[in-house]
Structure 1
Amino acid sequence: MPTRNATSGRLLYAQSGGVTAVINATAAGVIEAARARGVAVYAARNGILGALREELIDTAKESKAAIAALRHTPGGAFGSCRYKLKSLEANRAEYERLIEVFRAHDIRWFLYNGGNDSADTALKLSQIGKALGYDIRCIGVPKTVDNDLAVTDCCPGFGSVAKYTAVSTLEASLDVASMASTSTKVFILEVMGRHAGWIAAAAGLAGEGADAPPHLILFPENVFDEAAFLAKVKATVERVGWCTVVASEGIRNAAGQFLADAGTRDAFGHVQLGGVAPTLAGLVKGRLGYKVHWALPDYLQRSARHLASKVDAEQAYAVGKAAVDCALAGMNAVMPVIVRNSDSPYRWKIEPAPLAKIANREKKLPRGFIRKDGFGITAAARRHLAPLIAGEAPPPNGKDGLPAYVQLKNLPVAKKLAAWSPDKP
């Protein structure tokens, strides 16, 4: 490919999949780092679909203050989507369309902020760029609440949902304890985690010791044993007077079936989950006769910017900045990942890692992090998780007492190509 000036052309940034409380901090890191290097940044409206539809946003129209405010604003500032590109062989036309859009707008760097599927897309795009003779550098930028990306020590977004989960577990447990003598005996909190129990494990930070909540954690890495579960709940209530249970949405029975299979699938082919808590509540009430309350925080887990971890917010910004550094250094098909240097004091750094070692790989909770009885976390898990929820990074409040979040103008870039006509809209 012909050589060119390191800062000629534009950078395109896109957000993918479920957003996190700190994904916009990554966007701020990208835009501020690129501006400092004199590189123009476009953003794709609603993720990869925006790139395919040529719906691009000119971030140069946003003020310095607005971009800085992204660091404390939840949601996806430019819109995200769940849209999985097929393989190069199955649908080469989509990849060719993306290159066509890149060529039309002189996009020379593409930064895709997402999880496993997004890393796979960035990897494939780097390959098709070479095949079509177009000089495009593709960088995956890490983001998942599930903390399930390979190679990286942790995923930006996870530390904040971990803090929210631990705090919620602690606060709700204090409430249950105060009412247990005449009211609720069992409280069940359902948390995200389809295949990996990182978020459920984070709830274990709420307390330490046999009588401290959460008294039971149900991990997707373990087969759900109904008899053992009921016996543990009963023993806890008889000993402590009440019981807090934290259950991952992805727990399965011995037949491998999700306890909370909603019967539908998303665009990535994932089973839509939700309903573990009421299922378990019905089981406890029906078999043990205890009064039960349950909660399903759902989107609250990933949007709770008011309770974000300072460490997480800093890491989210750092990977955005590092992604720009990687791109402008001429790297391709890499992801800036977090490397842990020590637990206490917690020290970390950012290094590039090949997307080929990350794409479509899933990091489960290590067996050594799950207690031998299967219902709690080990000391090793506590050492690993505790630093990730450290510190506070509260958003500024407005005169109304609510957080002062920013809403960008998101002004469009003029289109140059014919409308995209996919086989399946």
Structure 2
Amino acid sequence: MPKNAFYAQSGGVTAVINASACGLIETARQHPDKIGKVYAGRNGIIGALTEDLIDTSQESDADIAALRHTPSGAFGSCRFKLKGLEESRAEYERLIEVFKAHDIGYFFYNGGGDSQDTSHKVSQIGEKMGYPMICVGVPKTVDNDLPITDNCPGFGSVAKYVAVSIREASFDVASMAKTSTKIFVMEVMGRHAGWIAAAGGLAAEKEGDAPHIILFPEIVFDKDKFLAKVDASVKKNGYCSIVVSEGVKNKNGQFLAEAGTRDAFGHAQLGGVAPVVANMIKEELGHKYHWAVADYLQRSARHIASKTDVEQAYALGKAAVELALEGKNAVMPTIVRTSNNPYKWEVGSANLADVANVEKKMPFYFISEDGFGITAKCREYLQPLILGEDYPPYQNGLPQYVVLKNSAVPKKLSTTYNLK
């Protein structure tokens, strides 16, 4: 009898993570002789630990297909990091208990760096605990910071949203600059890697175009240098439009907007760098400002998703199943760029051991010499990732997204598991 599969979504969701789910589930349904049912974890790996599984076979083909144009995580996500096998053996024993009870032989985990660490740890279960399991990670992160893969599904759509938003908002500011607002600051995601902030630079196609300043996590924030750049922009352009990454740090290595708290993964929680930067300009230069935090808007904006991103997300979900059916274990499908002009790409693969807990930052040759913009090389890399439109269906002026039934799989275990 074919083994069942477990699929789950993890970490911050994206505009296209469900496109990966669509590719994975549709492909699995094409191989009923090799894969039985696809069970989704409700709220990620937590669903496996608590035996809270969703039976995707109860969803129609049409609803699964609609996942391709639906944002966020259709099955619920989580921020929960498995500890080491020896450190928390009970977690792994519980996973094996649930997998055995539901005859699960395939494990697919859709997420970023911490999630691929979980994928890697789960891939070691079969060998160490005597339960055969094929584990394949599915890449997803708006931060674009996974190694080996050329780019990450989820990033291209955020990049498009940020570039469009800073262009449109800057037109607004420019129209008011003579008599009112002269400064606009847009805060984007990116704790340690400035890929999203860099995408804002795509909007500046000629001299004088906004954004005039980009603040990257990779570049130490220099207040005096920054204020001088702002002042020069206002004098030259009449206004200054700024994109700032949430992870910008000062010379002491402190986040400009650190809130003093930690998230479930142990990362510092950030309290908003845009108002910090905007107030700094007001206090030192006296300019009226407006600021905005893209926050969830940037990662959930499926209505303006990049067609390239949607196609890649679907392709890697499909490829995850194909790798599993080939018997490949502890791997992750990747995007391999084969040409820039015209843009061409293909699917490759990487070992999870080489992906887990490795963070890919912006190379310095992608950042302009003054530290406030992107280079031609960076533009050449980024531009294809935002190309194309893939609009969802609209009704009554609004995009139509699917909400799945998410029918629960009957529990088979008499024991329950309490999360610590």
TM-score by length of 2: 0.98
The structure-2 alpha-carbon separation of the partners of 1:148 and 1:23, relative to structure 1 and needing over 3 Å to count, comes to same
Tell me the residue number matched to 2:414.
418
Return the offset for 1:209.
Answer: 3.5
Return the offset for 1:184.
Answer: 0.5
1:26 aligns with 2:23: no
For residues 417 and 324 of structure 2, what CA distance do their matches in structure 1 show? 30
Tell me the residue number matched to 1:89.
86
Tell me the residue number matched to 1:120.
117
Structure 2 unmatched runs, 5+? none
Output one character per residue of 1:231-268: Cα deviation in whole Å (capped at 9) or x when no partner: 00001000110010100000000000000111111111
1:189 aligns with 2:182: no
Query: Superposition pairs for residues 308-327 of structure 1, below 5 Å?
Result: 308-327=305-324
Return the offset for 1:391.
Answer: 0.1
Output one character per residue of 1:175-200: Cα deviation in whole Å (capped at 9) or x when no partner: 11111100100100000000000000
Query: Greater CA deviation, 387-396 or 117-126?
Result: 117-126
For residues 247 and 102 of structure 1, what CA distance do their matches in structure 2 show? 44
**Are 2:39 and 2:55, in contact at CA under 8 Å, matched by a contact in 1?**
yes
For residues 295 and 274 of structure 1, what CA distance do their matches in structure 2 show? 13
Query: Greater CA deviation, 413-422 or 224-233?
Result: 413-422
1:148 aligns with 2:142: no
Return the offset for 1:133.
Answer: 1.3
**3-state DSSP of counterpart to 1:299:** helix
Percent identity over the alignment?
Answer: 66
Return the offset for 1:129.
Answer: 1.5
**3-state DSSP of counterpart to 1:170:** helix
Tell me the residue number matched to 1:36.
30
Partner AA of 1:415 in structure 2: K
For residues 26 and 415 of structure 2, what CA distance do their matches in structure 1 show? 31
Partner AA of 2:9 in structure 1: Q
Tell me the residue number matched to 2:388.
391
1:380 aligns with 2:377: yes
1:171 aligns with 2:168: yes
**3-state DSSP of counterpart to 2:138:** strand
Partner AA of 1:23 in structure 2: I
**Are 1:190 and 1:247, in contact at CA under 8 Å, matched by a contact in 2?**
yes
Tell me the residue number matched to 1:243.
240
For residues 345 and 3 of structure 2, what CA distance do their matches in structure 1 show? 32
Tell me the residue number matched to 2:264.
267
1:330 aligns with 2:324: no
Return the offset for 1:420.
Answer: 3.2
Tell me the residue number matched to 1:75.
72
1:404 aligns with 2:400: yes
For residues 135 and 416 of structure 2, what CA distance do their matches in structure 1 show? 22
**Are 1:336 and 1:350, in contact at CA under 8 Å, matched by a contact in 2?**
yes
Return the offset for 1:365.
Answer: 0.4
For residues 124 and 10 of structure 2, what CA distance do their matches in structure 1 show? 20
Return the offset for 1:418.
Answer: 3.0
Query: Greater CA deviation, 211-220 or 122-131?
Result: 122-131
**3-state DSSP of counterpart to 1:46:** coil
For residues 343 and 268 of structure 1, what CA distance do their matches in structure 2 show? 36
Return the offset for 1:417.
Answer: 1.1
Query: Superposition pairs for residues 337-376 of structure 1, below 5 Å?
Result: 337-376=334-373
4+ residue runs of structure 1 moved beyond 2 angstroms? 418-422
Tell me the residue number matched to 2:134.
137
**Are 1:61 and 1:411, in contact at CA under 8 Å, matched by a contact in 2?**
yes
**3-state DSSP of counterpart to 1:113:** strand
Output one character per residue of 1:195-242: Cα deviation in whole Å (capped at 9) or x when no partner: 000000000000124411110000000000000000000010001100
1:10 aligns with 2:4: yes
**Are 2:49 and 2:417, in contact at CA under 8 Å, matched by a contact in 1?**
no
Structure 1 unmatched runs, 5+? none
**Are 1:58 and 1:410, in contact at CA under 8 Å, matched by a contact in 2?**
yes
For residues 225 and 88 of structure 1, what CA distance do their matches in structure 2 show? 43
Tell me the residue number matched to 2:231.
234
Output one character per residue of 1:127-163: Cα deviation in whole Å (capped at 9) or x when no partner: 1211111110011100000000000000000000000
For residues 298 and 286 of structure 2, what CA distance do their matches in structure 1 show? 30
TM-score by length of 1: 0.97
**3-state DSSP of counterpart to 1:411:** coil
Return the offset for 1:165.
Answer: 0.2
For residues 418 and 202 of structure 1, what CA distance do their matches in structure 2 show? 51
**Are 1:53 and 1:419, in contact at CA under 8 Å, matched by a contact in 2?**
no
For residues 280 and 126 of structure 1, what CA distance do their matches in structure 2 show? 44
The structure-2 alpha-carbon separation of the partners of 1:286 and 1:101, relative to structure 1 and needing over 3 Å to count, comes to same
**Are 1:22 and 1:72, in contact at CA under 8 Å, matched by a contact in 2?**
yes
Partner AA of 2:369 in structure 1: K
Return the offset for 1:117.
Answer: 1.0
**Are 1:14 and 1:80, in contact at CA under 8 Å, matched by a contact in 2?**
yes
**3-state DSSP of counterpart to 1:314:** helix
For residues 132 and 294 of structure 1, what CA distance do their matches in structure 2 show? 53
Partner AA of 1:328 in structure 2: L
For residues 96 and 311 of structure 1, what CA distance do their matches in structure 2 show? 40
Aligned length: 417
